[in-house]
Structure 1
Amino acid sequence: MATPRTLDELPFAPHLRRFAGSSLRDARFDTVHIDGAEFVDERVEEVSFVEAAVSASSFEQVRMRRARLNDVWLQGVRMVGCDLAESNWLDVEAIGGVLAGLECHGAGLRRVVFHGCKFDSVNLRGAKLHEVVFHDCVLREVDFSGAALTECAFPGSRLEQVHLHQAKLTEVDLREAERIELADGVDALRGAAVTPMQLLELAPALAAALGLTVREAGEPLKAAVRRGSRSRR
């Protein structure tokens, strides 16, 4: 799904009802279109969105632990400081959104597509991502520590100071990523595909992870090893 869908292209668009409320406390949003709404400092447990659309809306400091998003379309949605831990995302499409300071640890994402979204300090520790695609996104300080990423791709995206400590990658395609900059967990890339040029760019981090000392020929090996050891302290 390289091209984002419009609201009118959604299969459930004819059935959508406009959301007229001001709170998320209804807990279940089925065939609802939320447009231009602002939700601040709310706490709703196990809220569900089914065949729903959300556009030009903001969520700030909203706690939605174990939320369920099934067949959901998001456009221009801003989520800041929200808690979506252990949430479940299935067949979700997000376009041009901002996700900052989000808690999504232990979440499950399956068949999710992000288009042109900005991620900043998002916690996805221990999450399970299956068939998740990040198109032209910026992922800054996103934490995938201990997460499982399967059949995921990052075409046109920038990964900046991303954490992969103890993450498990399976058939993850990074070849079309615009930038790959890891804060840690470079060894987790064993389950990913990269281009030869990307491999060259990652070489210093891979060498450090393997404990390799890289020095020009002619320099005494003991001195090089000793200096390399000091640099890793």
Structure 2
Amino acid sequence: MKPKIRRFTLPDLAAGYPGDFVDDYIELLHFKDFAEPLAADGARLEECRFSSVQIQSLRNARLIQCELEQSGAPALAGAGVFLNDVRVEHSRFGSADFAEAELDGVVFENCKFGWLNLAGAMVRDVVFRNCQFEEIDLGGRIQRVAFEDSRTGLLTCTGAQLREVNVEGLDFAQVQGIEFLRGAQISSLQLGVLAEEMAGHLGIRLVN
């Protein structure tokens, strides 16, 4: 089953400023072209847009119907964040730590990640489209997630609970925790790449 992505359109937004983050509830603002990184730990943001800004920290924040474009951070601290109906486009993250986070109805498109950490996260109805990763840690509860035209050096699945996860569109160089791929949909070409590692895990000796 494909991810269920709910479409939304943001209304007209007022200009947002760094001082707005002293409030715990922020809505209907457009944050654009800030020189300093933003931190929104514990904040609730609804119907907001971030354009060309660095977002340093979103620990335990809640983003609902928000858009991020041409944004990112060298290291995004997002443990415990809740992303609901969020679009992230043309953005770059040295690392994005979403440990113990919840992502529901999120689209990442044309994004680059050094390391994406989803260990312990609950992730459902998420699409990664034309994204590049150095490493992905899928060690959470992952349901109805699809990768399209994407690539990663390392795919770590240790501890993952996968359900209806389509990795056919993910080109990977290496997989760790292959026994946790149960519940994933792969291509025949990917099966060939994984064959030797799967045989080793099962104790099967390959003879040329």
After TM superposition, the score normalised by the length of structure 1 is: 0.80
For 2:165 and 2:73, how far apart are their aligned partners in 1? 26
Are the aligned partners of 2:85 and 2:104 in contact in 1 as well (CA < 8 Å)?
Answer: yes
More contact order relative to length (CA 8 Å, sep ≥ 6):
2
Q: 1:39 to 1:211 in 2, by over 3 A?
A: farther
Q: 1:23 to 1:37 in 2, by over 3 A?
A: farther
For the pair 1:13 / 2:32, whether they are aligned, the reply is no
Structure 1 residue 155, shift from structure 2 partner: 0.7
Q: 1:170 aligns with which of 160, 163, 184?
A: 163
Q: 1:92 to 1:68 in 2, by over 3 A?
A: same
For the pair 1:199 / 2:191, whether they are aligned, the reply is yes
Are the aligned partners of 2:16 and 2:29 in contact in 1 as well (CA < 8 Å)?
Answer: yes
User: Which residue of structure 2 aligns with residue 39 of structure 1?
Assistant: 36
Structure 1 residue 50, shift from structure 2 partner: 0.4
User: Which residue of structure 2 aligns with residue 119 of structure 1?
Assistant: 113
Q: 1:136 aligns with which of 130, 135, 149?
A: 130
Paired letter, 2:119:
R
State the identity as a percent: 25
Structure 1's unaligned 5+ residue stretches are 1-8, 217-233
More helix by share: 1
Paired letter, 2:52:
A
User: Which residue of structure 2 aligns with residue 219 of structure 1?
Assistant: none
**How many positions carry a matched residue from both structures?**
203
Q: 1:187 aligns with which of 176, 179, 183?
A: 179
Structure 1 residue 183, shift from structure 2 partner: 4.0
More strand by share: 2
For 2:39 and 2:131, how far apart are their aligned partners in 1? 28
User: Which residue of structure 2 aligns with residue 49 of structure 1?
Assistant: 45
Deviations 1:115-141 (A, max 9, x none): 011111232210111011000101221
User: Which residue of structure 1 aligns with residue 146 of structure 2?
Assistant: 153
Structure 1 residue 49, shift from structure 2 partner: 1.4
Paired letter, 1:172:
V
User: Which residue of structure 2 aligns with residue 70 of structure 1?
Assistant: 64
Higher Cα radius of gyration: 1
User: Which residue of structure 1 aligns with residue 102 of structure 2?
Assistant: 108
Q: SS state of the match for residue 133, structure 1?
A: strand
Q: 2:85 aligns with which of 68, 88, 91?
A: 91
Structure 2's unaligned 5+ residue stretches are 1-6
Q: 1:39 to 1:122 in 2, by over 3 A?
A: farther
Structure 1 residue 208, shift from structure 2 partner: 2.1
Are the aligned partners of 2:20 and 2:26 in contact in 1 as well (CA < 8 Å)?
Answer: no
Structure 1 residue 10, shift from structure 2 partner: 6.0
Are the aligned partners of 2:90 and 2:111 in contact in 1 as well (CA < 8 Å)?
Answer: yes
Structure 1 residue 148, shift from structure 2 partner: 1.1
